[in-house]
Amino acid sequence: MSADLNPTSSTAGAPGAPPLARLLDQAADAVMAVQRGRSLTDALATVPGPLRPGTQALSFLALRRLGAAQALREIVANRTPPPQVESLLLVALALLWPEDGQPAPYPDHTLVDQAVNCARRRVPAAANFINAVLRRFVRERAALVAQVSHQPVAAWNHPAWWIERLRADWPAHWQGLLQAAQQRPPLTLRVNRRRGTGAQYQAQLAVAGLAAELIGPQALLLAQAVPVERLPGFAQGWVSVQDASAQLAAPLLLGAGLPAGARVLDACAAPGGKTAHLLELAELDLLALDSDAQRLARVGQTLQRLQLQAELRAADARQTAAWWDGRPFDAILLDAPCSAAGIVRRHPDIRWLRRADDIGALAAIQAELLDTLWGTLKPGGRLLFATCSVFRAEGQAQIDAFLQRRGPDGARLDPVSPGHLLPLPDNGPNPAPSTPGVTAAGHGDGFFYALLHKPEA
């Protein structure tokens, strides 16, 4: 995982920092790639190594303010410019957008000057246009910001359908969820229990000059995000990066414990964080399955670093004839494909990549996975259904429909199930304790968990 860096760490003119014009060029390409449907992760992978941290920082900020930047662009440029020009303009407008309580990442004159320099190399004929538009925005910023701020997409920096779905799903919390999505995520660590306790690793971090708060027996919240290379013993498998909400999966599935050598399926395993956590906590005969062979390779790399073992198989979990030997599983983790709406603060491109009809299509896949894998679970076994989403269609509504299909004697929802974990700002309203199936996520991302039990035969 790479940290969500502060853009000022790459300020033009800082010793050793790449010129801002080059970072703007790379960030504009990244934003253009997202607008064309490519993930930011893939786009950043093509950026030269020395430019990648600064490019990521600018891209994250631009995507978190893309709704406002697009609304401004429609006002200050009366016709849509070519994609290479528009993407640069959007990045620059996003960086010039005033943010309450936060300093501007660059002085206005520096940003405008560097954007024009970038345009001269990127699309030379557009340099004067970029200069005129940005200077107009700087002159008229207060009026232009006020003009677009009443537009929901500009005010919340999410697509209109996303805003409306959150409003319908969470009438008391939709604004807090949108605010939380704009915040930088914390860097949370999971200490390998086979190597030590959370408190012991916290002391090692202190020796390395890194402050961290212990938020669980093996979970540490770093005061400031750093590259993993700075974490003591990371290469040796002492610790992993894993969100606090994601760290609930393994303990929930294992419960009071499974017999040594219990047969466990991790049905959608990549990139392997939950797979590894299960193996850190128990001796299991674990099959890690994923439909994407390249992503499954990351599971193998994670397990190798942590010195853990599991059987890895690339296959679609719905096609049991291709991978299942007929022996039922004691426990199944189904971390199902979803919209990822709960981790949008960590991946700000998600909101712009998803479409409204994606939710129904993903919910159908989740239902198919639930029904198929239920047949591979032994009587008396347990299945943990998880999604990193805050949308009810991918959470409680999905489980309600499954329980209705199975009937009261076919499946049971364990009352320890957290249900929806909502990432809300610290100063925002939290779900009432009496709200069934809803919990504040605390430091974690948005998730949904439902632990299901299969009756004994």
Specify if 168 maps to a domain.
no
Report residue 370 as tokens: 């639930």
Specify if 449 maps to a domain.
yes
Q: What is the pLDDT of residue 99?
A: 80
Confidence label for 431 from pLDDT (cuts 50, 70 and 90): low
Q: Are residues 104 and 219 in the same domain?
A: no
Q: Which of 353, 357, 310, 359 lies closest to 336, judged by CA?
A: 359
Q: What is the pLDDT of residue 103?
A: 75
Per residue in 239-287, pLDDT (tens digit) is: 999 999 999 999 999 998 899 999 999 999 999 999 999 999 999 999 9
Q: Are residues 199 and 68 in the same domain?
A: no
pLDDT tops 80 at residue 440: no
Q: What is the pLDDT of residue 427?
A: 54
pLDDT tops 80 at residue 438: no
Q: Average pLDDT, stretch 174-180? A: 95
Specify if 174 maps to a domain.
no
Q: Are residues 111 and 216 in the same domain?
A: no
Q: How many domains does the chain have?
A: 3
Q: Which of 202, 224, 241 is the last residue of a domain?
A: 241
Per residue in 361-389, pLDDT (tens digit) is: 999 999 999 999 999 999 999 999 999 99
**What is the domain extent for residue 134?**
7-157
Residue 313 C-beta-side C-alpha neighbours within 13 Å: 16
Q: Are residues 301 and 412 in the same domain?
A: yes
Q: Which of 208, 241, 274 is the last residue of a domain?
A: 241
Q: Are residues 369 and 393 in the same domain?
A: yes
Instruction: Choose, from 118, 268, 338, 388, the residue flagged as catalytic.
Output: 388
The residue written with tokens 């560097």 in the block is 114
Q: Are residues 233 and 258 in the same domain?
A: no
Q: Are residues 114 and 211 in the same domain?
A: no
Q: Are residues 98 and 44 in the same domain?
A: yes
Per residue in 188-211, pLDDT (tens digit) is: 999 999 999 999 999 999 999 999
Q: What is the pLDDT of residue 405?
A: 96
% of the chain surpassing 70 pLDDT: 93
> Among 61-70, 274-283, 321-330, 422-431, where is mean pLDDT lowest?
422-431
Q: Are residues 204 and 148 in the same domain?
A: no
Q: What is the domain-level CATH number for residue 53? A: 1.10.940.10
Q: What is the pLDDT of residue 425?
A: 77
Specify if 165 maps to a domain.
no
Specify if 59 maps to a domain.
yes
Q: What is the domain-level CATH number for residue 234? A: 3.30.70.1170
Q: Which of 197, 217, 241 is the last residue of a domain?
A: 241
pLDDT tops 90 at residue 78: no
Specify if 171 maps to a domain.
no
Q: Is 10 left (phi over 0), alpha (psi -120 to 50) or beta?
A: alpha
Q: Are residues 224 and 256 in the same domain?
A: no
* Cβ burial, residue 277 (10 Å; 0-12/13-18/19+): buried
Q: What is the domain-level CATH number for residue 383? A: 3.40.50.150
Residue by residue, what is the 3-state secondary structure of 201-246?
HHHHHHHCCCCEEECCCCEEEECCCCCHHHCCCCCCCCEEECCCCH
Q: Average pLDDT, stretch 282-306? A: 97
Per residue in 397-408, pLDDT (tens digit) is: 999 999 999 988
What's the whole-model pTM score?
Answer: 0.93
Q: Average pLDDT, stretch 60-67? A: 97
Specify if 308 maps to a domain.
yes
Specify if 181 maps to a domain.
no
Q: What is the pLDDT of residue 13?
A: 45
Q: Give catalytic status of residue 388 as yes or no.
A: yes
Q: Are residues 404 and 343 in the same domain?
A: yes
Q: Are residues 125 and 216 in the same domain?
A: no
Confidence label for 309 from pLDDT (cuts 50, 70 and 90): very high
CA dist 252 → 127, 249, 286, 390, 450 (Å): 56, 5, 16, 19, 9
Average pLDDT, the chain: 93
